[in-house]
Structure 1
Amino acid sequence: MHQRNISTRLKRRRAGDPMREFDALPPELRRWLAEASLPWSPRSARRIWRQGLKTGGVDEALRRLESAEVATLKRDRLAQL
């Protein structure tokens, strides 16, 4: 089962207007963020998205986001030990 927007002990940064930043994202990225397990900031998600687009398009961007989320979840689990 895929958990959505769970809380985490990892540091979070907030700046600017996250809703305005979210609304400016491409539809595929907004959809991914809505289903993500962690509460990603639009800024960090957009950075990973752009890196993926440069190397392989939308599919690569989505794969990079999934990989980043898995790595972050692993770090969070280790931090809770």
Structure 2
Amino acid sequence: MERTVTATEANRDFSRIFRDVARGERYVITAHGKPMVRMEPAAEPATVEDRAARLRVLADELAVLPGRAPGPITREDGYA
């Protein structure tokens, strides 16, 4: 569920809002009636296993790409 509060309310009740967000609530903070900020829980950090699995998928995708020769490299290429 997403709750809407004004910037003044958010400033006054920040600690409570922060605790609510930590428990999974979502807030939209408005200024002059316009939505300005969305507060929501941060995504859980990826585990080592998740990162390793994503790296394996990336390596597999890169392995099927055709190789390209860079062509002749000159001294001037280092200044480009």
Which TM-score band applies after superposition, normalised by the shorter structure?
under 0.3
TM-score (norm: length of structure 2)? 0.26
TM-score by length of 1: 0.26
Structure ranking higher on relative contact order (CA contacts 8 Å, 6+ apart): 1
Higher strand share: 2
Considering fraction of residues, name the structure with more helix. Answer: 1
